[in-house]
Amino acid sequence: MPVYLITYSVLFWVPALIFMVFMLKAFDAPLKRSFWSACAAMAVVSVVMEYLFLKFDVWFFSEKIDRLLGLWIGPAPVEEFVFWFGATPFCLAIYLSYCKLFKKNA
């Protein structure tokens, strides 16, 4: 069972999707553009950082330690991109929700 994929899908993608369905509607157009621009910028940074970290052996992936789907994008498993592309909207969503709910300049 691909625990890595399931864990990060549940931890990041589900809450981020809930945010997009319920909270993002409450924000004005410039803030929405900023949200998506930040997500796009972080996606580029995340991909570059991922490949640099793999190149310099900062981390590695092994089927012996954690079962993976077996789909690889270059030297990185697809699960790693589920993490990176889910974490960014999730973290931004938490921040914007906090600001909106507690009336802090958002």
Can you give the pTM of this predicted structure?
A: 0.75
Q: Which tens digits make up the pLDDT trace of 9-63? A: 888 888 888 888 887 788 888 988 998 999 999 999 999 998 999 899 898 887 7
90 alpha carbon, distance to own chain's centre: 6
Query: Residue type at 39?
Result: C
Helix residue spans in 1-101 (DSSP H): 3-8, 14-22, 29-55, 78-101
Q: Among residues 36, 46, 30, which one has the least CA distance to residue 87?
A: 46
Parse the chain into domains and list their residue ranges: 3-101
